[in-house]
Structure 1
């Protein structure tokens, strides 16, 4: 979503951007205007009181002008020329039901081509987790988190989602680039304390504060979440069994502006989340209860009810980014050092997992990443802007597990005295990429953005590729814009999700794999094509259409194989993804409306890595047939709108609503004696969310502070809908969407 400038009404520009040209032109104009001398802040002697006040005002203006100019220069380092970009301004985020209390993924579901999945996952244009997160233009290395988000919505001043043919500066993860422009002490000065909560023991207190002091400015936000909806329900009931969640997040940064051309910043965050895994009642255990030793005699316990299991998982993420930014007349640059640590630990129900799955496994994975990113823009002339840069990361991944399994004798009989299997591994690897590109204005209405990128991966696999990128943007008339582009992509396998289990350790046990083939996961190589058009019908109404096609070699997918909610990566030897997206928006005064419709098809053929996770019959079928990817959804749609009553007063009342439709993710299809992997889909669904926000500005009885009262209803009509039915490739258990949830909140400015 995009929003007009501060003086205008909120509007949603869910457009097929090709609009990089428009955005770049805006950035160039803004950059040139900011090249004018800023107001001096030098000390003056003998000033009167009025002059002193005026001097302070000039200092404040200088701080804001400098901050805006450097922010614009940073954004211009990474334009989206020829790509498809959806922008979410601060006003657009606040118009979404839940606003800052909602997860980032729930906001992103309002963008075209974004599909909802379980564990808080999203799929962009038919890819699985091939998503890159950036903070103020700096890419964060990947972590091991599956559900739970280390980045909270309230830390975002605005954000964008860029898809399609990406310019050469974007590498490694290319299905979608989510760039979060963080709040800061200049644009988001002041503090807010808030409380939010509702059904299912949902409690979410938070506090945020931003300010600036001379050449320094900073912002920090802290929140705590307690609820009983941490992970999707395994049944369609209103409340899940065993679904407690406790989370806390701390995010903030501090910036120092040495001079108008130079700024240093430090951004850091800590996230810690603990989840109970919901139980699925009524399951039949597959194995007899084991024998345990007590007083030197075997003791056999009763098999636990599947509704009473006690599995839980903890996820931790810490990161820090130190950046140095320079902006001069012809050259702008930003160099950043990045650190990130993330870990995941699964604790089983030792007895329950053993009798239901034949293995009770305590599993832990962690990855520590450090790296550098540097981007430079050289404005050679009015016709040429040259950009170049480098990214390099070193990573260390560690995997450990302790498993209880049943021994199996030569006749295939199970011994009820369980045994313990220890397994651990570690690997150090590296990713690196360099790029160079030229934004060439051929005419006033025609822009060619050509570049080349070289990427390499030295981890479990060794791969490198020289990738050309080219896009053409044509504006033949006012309000109309065409774009067409081609890109080569190299996507490294996700280091933290590559299975490293020593299969031989589980031979002759109840956890023995169906086969022992375990080829290494390979890097994916893509040819990507994109063409689109956007038209401004009237001053308030826009429409856009975009089509894309991806041909992949060694298409990367991920799945859950086993009780721990830890994803494992694997490849299809061949892959193809294609789709069409239609977007529209209308905005006038206090009214905003938007809608998106996406049709997509993602297919793969012949799994050629991590084969031991799959049934032998499934492997044979997929070797000779194209199959749908488990996250393939034919039709995805979203829509929404907002209206502000009394918007010209100090007590505006905003009503907003959103809608999400999905034709259903994939599941297995039974056809007599044969099972077709991902052969059909779960039922279609549609949900509606509603938000009502009353704002009270500068009320005397509040001491001149602002107050905001919020009421949100998620899944307004209490639709029961299934995300997963437990079948399909790499699907661990059934998951259902959230039932109706009534939430309320209050916030007070400090």
Structure 2
């Protein structure tokens, strides 16, 4: 109750002061009103007809799975361009501008205090989970718009329920594109290109980029240029669609990324002399040479059929990802007593179908299925020391191999009805059934219900309940044998290693959006979640590979507020969230924890390590449309966090200091040559702040936010796309 009171005070304080707002949830379609008209009888014969047909099919696809009472926040490509960094920034930095999204180390972020639990969809098709920890597989360049859906989700969304990141890709109708170069502080250099166009009834968009900088992941000591932290990243993306006729379109989406990271080194540290390798007992931490390589490739083929009152999209998809950790064998043996060369590979294939059927004026039925096959391979070789009964080293290091592979299957089906039972009230109710057969065989039926009230064009209010079933991330579940490390320097805390369980949740959500005028909108959303076998993840070794584990019970609650103002050249937004997340009794992967921590958590609720009480973001952008400075944009953004958890008198019992990071941007488009110049400043105040201090349940090493950086970009448009630059 104390938390709820403080949350409401914070929200009321926010709404009583001038605010800037992110783009906010769009209201749902008017009850019983189909958004896709009946197809004409003749095939398109002109370029204009093809464009109109393509846009109508886009609307039909979007109508298959609208938000229907879930909380939804949308960002368009225009907003991305207005943010510092534009589409040269990492995708996760854009998502941090949304309500309730918490920044973490390794480029991770958390939605509503859930550790992971995110599902990515591209043009409505699920993108399966991958292994990447640091890598941002999806480039902002491919995005026309994306929405973060959270709260009490409709029945079509399952298996990952903390948030749905629903991406609509660019597609080319005008023949043209751009080439650009971006770079500056931290040795950053990022060339890129994009090209879109059409020929007949076929449209395409392709993009690619390369990024090199000396701040690949967060530094461990707050330096502006951390020791040994370079990265090289390659990314490519392709979209192609072909309109078969007025009611049918086939499309392909594919992408690939290859990213290499050095692991940042602490400075001036030496091992304690416990171990020696051929007489060597000392090693300067500055000289450690640890690396991680992450590769991801994905592809999906979809067929969209629209024949009012029925619309169907069927898809086949595949995703490959691999992660390789290369240790500094000598250094890690002397510091940690072990050095693990690790390689993990995951390959997923699947099929998905979703359909919408309009049944009269009051009912819209939606249903579908999802089937996936996931194959995971793990290969490790760990250098360790044998120990005697007193814990002293025996001889020189030995290598222990540990390999495994496993296949998982998942099956999901859902059905729901959007029932407009009154002019201002719409009830979306339904359910889904999920079966997951991996390291465990688990299943659940999950009912869902959302009520949306729209008394006028200004107010949209919703209340919802969802039952969730969330399997642990299969590709991260360890299958190593801990017994073979007994009697070595890699010996586990215990031999108890219960396989992680699926999490089961009861989720409640209520909120509203109010359009005070055609320029200003604000909203508030509150949620509460009860979990059994709450899933969390931690780093428990030198390889930056996360391991899932469960708390027997979990409870997470919070309040979010958002506001936005758009008028003329102005775009302003602000978001604020207050949350609390706790769990008790660790019931899986117990060998990773100390006996003292396990004993305390067994009988007490503790804060989750990624809990952050207060989170905020804000931004402002102004586009000058007239005069000598026409086609100039200036703006800024900020993120605020009250601090993640750290160990105190009890596990996760303390928190780090709060921080605020401010960024600035300015750009100008020279229309005649089709050239855009931009200048960005990241962390204007050069504020040194810690994201992690290296303590806490499942926390690996200290991590600091980026120091101040200055960046310049040049982009040259060509073809018809030149008119859209800037």
Q: Shorter-chain TM-score category?
A: over 0.9
Higher relative contact order, chain-length normalized (CA < 8 Å, sep 6+): 2
Which of the numbers 40, 44, 59 marks the counterpart of 1:37?
A: 40
**Which string of whole-angstrom CA distances, capped at 9 and with x for unpartnered residues, describes residues 187-236 of structure 1?**
x6411000000011101000110010001111100100111111100011
Alignment-derived partner of residue 4 in structure 2:
none
Aligned counterpart in structure 2 of residue 276 of structure 1, from 262, 266, 269: 262
Q: Is the 8 A contact 2:270 2:282 kept in 1?
A: no
Q: Is the 8 A contact 1:326 1:334 kept in 2?
A: yes
Q: Summarize the alignment of residues 368-447 of structure 1 with structure 2, pairs less than 5 Å apart.
A: 368-447=347-426
Structure 2 Cα separation of the partners of residues 308 and 90 of structure 1: 42
Q: Does 1:489 align with 2:468?
A: yes
| CA positional deviation for 1:412 | 2.3
Residue number in structure 2 paired with 1:222: 208
Q: Comparing 354-363 with 410-419, which one deviates more in the overlay?
A: 410-419
1:739 matched to 2:721: no
- What is the CA–CA distance in structure 1 between the aligned matches of 2:599 and 2:249, rounded to whole Å? 58
Change (3 A) 1:380 1:680: same
Answering whether residue 673 of structure 2 is matched by residue 686 of structure 1, we say no
**Does the aligned pair in 1 maintain the 2:44–2:246 contact within 8 Å?**
no
Secondary structure (helix, strand or coil) at the match of 2:389 reads coil
Query: How do 1:4-43 and structure 2 match up within 5 A?
Result: 14-15=23-24, 17=25, 19=26, 22-25=27-30, 28=33, 30-32=35-37, 35=38, 37=40, 41=44
Distance 1:749 1:128 in 2: 40
SS at 2:186's partner residue? coil
Contact 1:27 1:76 in 2 (8 A): no
SS of 2:652 mapped into structure 1: strand
What's the CA shift string for 1:304-339, capped at 9, x where partnerless? 101110000000001110111101111001000011
Tell me the secondary structure at the aligned position of residue 106 of structure 1. Answer: helix
Q: Counterpart in 2 of 1:103?
A: 90
Kindly state the Cα deviation for residue 289 of structure 1 after the two structures are TM-superposed: 4.5
Offset at residue 656 of structure 1 (A): 1.2
Alpha-carbon displacement from aligned partner over 1:421-444 (angstroms, at most 9, x marks no partner) = 110111011111100000011112
Q: TM-score, normalised by structure 1?
A: 0.91
Matched residue of 1:746: which SS? strand
Shift of 1:399: 1.0
Over 3 Å counting, the alpha-carbon distance change for 1:647 and 1:143 in structure 2 is: farther
Q: Residue in 2 aligned with 1:122?
A: 109
The one of 492, 504, 520 equivalent to 1:541 is 520
- Tell me the equivalent position of 2:329: 350
User: Deviation per CA, 1:123-165, whole angstroms, max 9, x where unpaired?
Assistant: 0001011100111011111011111111101110111100001
- The CA deviation at 1:263 is 0.5
2:545 counterpart of 1:589: no
SS of residue in 1 equivalent to 2:137: coil
Question: Secondary structure at 2:396's aligned position in 1?
Answer: coil
What is the distance in 2 between the residues matched to 1:286 and 1:506?
22
State how far apart, in whole Å, the 2-side matches of 1:143 and 1:76 are: 28
Query: In the TM superposition, what whole-angstrom CA distance separates every residue of 1:533-564 from its partner, at most 9, and x where no partner exists?
Result: 11111221111010000000000000001111
SS in 2 for 1:415: strand
Distance 1:41 1:127, change over 3 A: closer
Q: CA deviation at 1:478?
A: 3.2
In structure 2, relative to structure 1, the CA distance for the partners of 1:84 and 1:648 (3 Å cut) is farther
Which whole-Å CA distance do the structure 2 matches of 1:740 and 1:28 have between them? 50
Secondary structure of 1:68 counterpart? helix
Query: 2:686 matched to which residue of 1?
Result: 718
Change (3 A) 1:712 1:731: same
Given that 2:187 and 2:214 are in contact with CA atoms closer than 8 Å, whether structure 1 keeps it comes out as yes
Which sits farther off after the overlay, 640-649 or 334-343?
Answer: 640-649
Are residues 1:553 and 2:547 paired? no
Deviation track 1:484-528 (CA, whole Å, cap 9, x = no partner) reads: 000000001100111222111100001101111000100000000
Cα distance in structure 1, aligned partners of 2:236 and 2:31: 34
Gap runs ≥5 in structure 2: 1-19, 719-726
CA distance in 2, matches of 1:140, 1:158: 16
Q: Distance in 1 between matches of 2:194 and 2:655?
A: 43
Query: 2:250 is matched with which residue: 264, 269, 277?
Result: 264
2:73 matches 1:86: yes
> 1:12–1:92: 8 Å Cα contact kept in structure 2?
no
In the alignment, which of 220, 235, 240 is matched to residue 254 of structure 1? Answer: 240
| Equivalent residues in 2 for 1:438-477, closer than 5 Å | 438-477=417-456
Distance 2:695 2:506 in 1: 31
Q: Counterparts of 1:662-681 in structure 2 under 5 Å?
A: 662-669=641-648, 671=649, 676-681=650-655
Q: Deviations over 1:666-699 (max 9, x none)?
A: 0000x4xxxx1110111100010111010122x1
Given that 2:633 and 2:666 are in contact with CA atoms closer than 8 Å, whether structure 1 keeps it comes out as yes
2:340 to 347, 356, 361: 361
Change (3 A) 1:650 1:738: closer
SS at match of 2:698: coil
Contact 1:289/1:300 (<8 A) preserved? no
| 2:605 is equivalent to residue 626 of structure 1 | yes
Alpha carbons 1:471, 1:483 under 8 Å: kept: yes
- 1:249-300 CA-to-partner distances (Å, cap 9, x unmatched) read 0111211111011111111111000000000123341454433xxxxxxx42
Secondary structure of 1:351 counterpart: helix
Separation in structure 2 between the aligned mates of residue 229 and residue 39 of structure 1, nearest angstrom: 56
* C-alpha distance in 2 between matches for 1:542 and 1:131: 27
C-alpha contact (below 8 Å) 1:286/1:357 kept by paired residues: no
- The aligned length equals 699
SS of alignment partner, residue 193 of structure 2: strand
The 2-side partners of 1:356 and 1:155 are apart by: 43
C-alpha RMSD over aligned residues: 1.6
Residue 184 of structure 1 aligns to a residue whose secondary structure is coil
Is the contact between residue 651 and residue 696 of structure 1 (CA under 8 Å) also seen in structure 2?
A: no
Give the 3 Å change call, closer, same or farther, for CA 590–26 of structure 1 in structure 2: farther
* 1:333 match: 312
2:3 corresponds to which residue? none
Cα 1:512–1:289, aligned 2, differ >3 Å: closer, same or farther? closer
Conserved? CA contact 1:289–1:303, under 8 Å: no
Q: Which of 682, 696, 707 is matched with 2:670 structurally?
A: 696
Mapped partners of 1:333, 1:241: distance in 2? 53
